[in-house]
Structure 1
Amino acid sequence: MLRITDVKAFTVQSNFEWGFIRIYAGDLYGTGETAGSPLAINNVIPYVRKLLIGEDALKRNRILEKLKYAFSYSGTTVYFIISAIDIALHDLIGKYLNIPVWRLIGGDRDEVRVYVDAHASKSMEIVDAALTEVFPDWIKQYGDKTRFETERMSTLTEPMVGRISTQQWNKDYTPENYAERAREIVNEGFTAVKFDLDIPTPYLKDYNSRSGQLSLKDIDYLTSIVKAVREAVGDEIDLMFDLHWKFNINTAAKICKALEPYRPRWIEDPTSAFSSLTLNMDEINLVTQKCCVPIATGENLFTYYQFKDLLKTGISIWTPDLTKAGGITEGVKISELASLFDIEISPHNIASPIGAMAAAHAMSVANTFGVLEWHAHDLPFWNDIVKPKRRIIDRGFIRLTDEPGLGIDLDMDAMKKIWSDFEI
């Protein structure tokens, strides 16, 4: 028996808010990560602690079902917490048995291909759980080492809501900058890169318009960006473009048609129908019928049950986020379902190294795995906050080792240097 003795949680503000849950069994512990906000974690963790202390960590499924029942009135938010607990249990059990998680779950892939999410060219968003831009203290430590508009942020007089760091077109959003950024990433050894295309253009007067429409001039401008990127990196590099639920069906179809000659690997979340808040299978069907390039979605879906509903559509690429969809357990189930229907699974990942490694371990068993997202390419401390010290992502791959559990652990001393108020 591996009796759980304590459960703790802590959060830090990185480019996104990272939430961690640590499960203790005597001197051993496992660490998991959630995409949930600090408020959700802090409110729920006292109840989780009461439910978990005394349980046998080896009976992972029993624990997960107990949590699902206990929080059955809480809606899907509980899966943010369950995701972290599931990852922490896998890490703990792997350490207890002295085997890596990828072997624990029967994986046969010891390296996982990674793509860089390059944002909107030069801009890296730093947002809290409400997608409101923030200016964390660590920015002052790293200065020019991170691609972030520190001068602009230091003079902000009011918070800006949304991913785009400015609501008006500027020189960041040019074909030349996108192409330069793509070349930089490919020169580092990556064979896949994704960019945001839900951006201001020189012709778009109201970026925040809810109409979901673009003029032909706007679409031509976005197409010029994609053309420049493709010409910069050649035909062997996979290119993906994210529309972040921004457009209506007709505009999404026009964008897809315009981009078809440049052979994107996928277009991601083109309309609001792909949001978990407005998941509309009929509209998704219309989008996939009208669009002539592969469509990807799934980062806001929970458990394999919601992905099962996607089988009714023409979606050919699933992008679950395992720090919210249910952790490694649900990641494996989703990948098995995808495999049955020959659907590519390429997880969304805006996590710390803990969440990224959890996704990599889960994908070790995925027959139809494509490529794993990395949203923290520009964070100067991403490798520094874990031990043992090594490059977690090297020339476009995460290599899974024989270290027990997730194979890495948070370096608390390093974290305290970055976040002065950090504590557990």
Structure 2
Amino acid sequence: MASTIERVETFLVAPRWLFVRIETSDGLVGWGEATCEGRSETVRTAVHQLAEMVLGGDPERIEDHWAVMTKGSFYRGGPILGSAVSGIDQALWDIKGKRYAVPVHQLLGGAVRDRVRVYGWVGGDEPNEVRDHIAEQVEAGLTAVKMNASGRMSPLGTVAEIDGVVARVAAAREVLGDHGDVAVDFHGRFTLANARRVAPLLEPYRPMFLEEPVTPENSHLIGEFVRSTTTPVSTGERLYGRQEFLPVLQAGVAVVQPDLSHAGGITEVRKIASLAETFDAALAPHCPLGPLALASSLQVAFATTNHLIQEQSIGIHYNLGADVLDYLVDTAPLEFVDGHVARLTGPGLGIEIDETAVRAADKTGHAWRGPVWRHPDGTFAEW
């Protein structure tokens, strides 16, 4: 008798993640991550609605399940549905790899690299804090970091705000020297005019890329920013499919950053990477999330020629109460050596989840929310 999808479970675990567990009728178990930061409880409901479409189905028909989940309702798309699909999709790939006793990247065509370069996020509101935080990441074995360009930013930055951005990036370059890399995240906090004003001032410090210079709903403006700087431009953590990535690629972005827990999982991000390749653009998936999102991203990285670098959130300030490695039976697969993660060789996603720890964490759950910022006059400010 053919194997079927028998059970779909979800686990809301600290600090802000949503894990998906799928079990087949012949006892195979796959894990995925459907986290949507600040909306994971909503996604949990969506996962169980989508489960109605896959229960009883063949777990190996991943492409067909993906099509049904994304197109089987008249209303489609967006971060909630995308995240729910992503968690299920990752879990099905995990099952398939375990069935054939190979890592997922082997099912995607085989490895194109032996290790994947990773970067860590650093904070710090003052140049000295930036220096200290980057030094810690370098000490941990990383050769690249990403930092926010600013905190709350005025629509047209003051001299002090703009000088602060430049000073912090300058401090990062001082610590990293000529061989380390710093990416600068505008985080959608800047207006187009402000971003265009700041970008040329950062060029002497050779950022690896400038990220999300405009909010995703203003993607039609990103070409104006691309043309204002020689620094590579990236975006994509809040875009959810190939159709949304096409216009930003046409506008000239150099790096696309889909999130494997938002943008349709392994299945869709592989297609986004192929689309990017036709524009000579690189893939650098967004991933300030948990171990399953990271492992899924790495599986894609090992099989994707135009992959640039992988974000990871071990030790990130958001992770209060738990960290990426806390839900793993063995942390060795995600260890950093010379700023890289070695090719994952275990079956499926290549990591083993501590199910006892996950079930215990779900009893407490979480209600993580992003902050709401305001300008001094009381109006809403982008976070």
- In structure 2, give the amino acid aligned to 1:98: A
Deviation at 1:351, TM superposition (A): 1.6
2:83/2:261 contact within 8 Å kept = yes
**Residues 1:101 and 2:117 are matched in the alignment:** no
Report the counterpart of residue 394 of structure 1 in structure 2.
336
**Residues 1:39 and 2:38 are matched in the alignment:** no
- In structure 2, give the amino acid aligned to 1:235: D
1:3/1:56 contact within 8 Å kept = yes
**Residues 1:288 and 2:226 are matched in the alignment:** yes
Instruction: Please give the alpha-carbon distance, in whole angstroms, between the structure 2 residues aligned to 1:285 and 1:43.
Output: 37
Which one of the candidate residues 293, 297, 304 is aligned to 1:355? Answer: 293
Report the counterpart of residue 379 of structure 2 in structure 1.
none
Shift of the 180–418 alpha-carbon distance from structure 1 to 2, 3 Å rule, reads same
Deviation at 1:257, TM superposition (A): 0.9
Deviation at 1:219, TM superposition (A): 1.1
Report the counterpart of residue 127 of structure 2 in structure 1.
175
- In structure 2, give the amino acid aligned to 1:351: L
Which one of the candidate residues 31, 50, 71 is aligned to 2:52? Answer: 50
- In structure 1, give the amino acid aligned to 2:32: G
SS in 1 for 2:10: strand
Aligned residues: 355
Structure 1 range deviating more: 248-257 or 233-242: 248-257
Structure 1 runs, 4 residues or longer, greater than 3 Å off: 378-381, 414-420
Deviation per CA, 1:163-185: give whole Å up to 9, x if none.
xxxxxxxxxx1111101111221
Which one of the candidate residues 183, 198, 206 is aligned to 2:150? Answer: 198
Shift of the 376–73 alpha-carbon distance from structure 1 to 2, 3 Å rule, reads same
- In structure 2, give the amino acid aligned to 1:35: T
Instruction: Please give the alpha-carbon distance, in whole angstroms, between the structure 2 residues aligned to 1:69 and 1:54.
Output: 19
Which one of the candidate residues 229, 236, 239 is aligned to 1:298? Answer: 236
Instruction: Give the percent of matched residue pairs that are identical in Structure 1 and Structure 2.
Output: 29
Instruction: Please give the alpha-carbon distance, in whole angstroms, between the structure 2 residues aligned to 1:264 and 1:48.
Output: 41
Q: Tell me: higher relative CO, structure 1 or 2? Use CA pairs within 8 A at least 6 residues apart.
A: 2
- In structure 2, give the amino acid aligned to 1:357: A
- In structure 2, give the amino acid aligned to 1:6: R
How do 1:32-181 and structure 2 match up within 5 A?
32-36=32-36, 37-76=39-78, 77-108=80-111, 109-118=113-122, 120-121=123-124, 173-181=125-133
- In structure 1, give the amino acid aligned to 2:279: F
2:256/2:281 contact within 8 Å kept = yes
SS in 1 for 2:137: helix
Instruction: Please give the alpha-carbon distance, in whole angstroms, between the structure 1 residues aligned to 2:28 and 2:54.
Output: 15
Report the counterpart of residue 22 of structure 1 in structure 2.
21
* TM-score calculated relative to the size of structure 2: 0.87
Shift of the 314–42 alpha-carbon distance from structure 1 to 2, 3 Å rule, reads closer
* TM-score calculated relative to the size of structure 1: 0.79
2:236/2:245 contact within 8 Å kept = yes
Shift of the 254–178 alpha-carbon distance from structure 1 to 2, 3 Å rule, reads same
Instruction: Please give the alpha-carbon distance, in whole angstroms, between the structure 2 residues aligned to 1:23 and 1:82.
Output: 13
Deviation per CA, 1:118-140: give whole Å up to 9, x if none.
1x22xxxxxxxxxxxxxxxxxxx
Shift of the 259–73 alpha-carbon distance from structure 1 to 2, 3 Å rule, reads same
**Residues 1:328 and 2:271 are matched in the alignment:** no
2:43/2:81 contact within 8 Å kept = no
Shift of the 45–266 alpha-carbon distance from structure 1 to 2, 3 Å rule, reads closer
Deviation at 1:418, TM superposition (A): 5.7
Question: Which consecutive unaligned segments of at least 5 residues does structure 2 have?
Answer: 367-383
**Residues 1:250 and 2:249 are matched in the alignment:** no
Report the counterpart of residue 309 of structure 1 in structure 2.
247
1:338/1:345 contact within 8 Å kept = yes
Report the counterpart of residue 216 of structure 1 in structure 2.
159
Shift of the 301–176 alpha-carbon distance from structure 1 to 2, 3 Å rule, reads same
Question: Which consecutive unaligned segments of at least 5 residues does structure 1 have?
Answer: 122-172, 200-206
SS in 2 for 1:116: strand
2:13/2:361 contact within 8 Å kept = no
2:66/2:267 contact within 8 Å kept = no
Which one of the candidate residues 312, 329, 350 is aligned to 1:407? Answer: 350
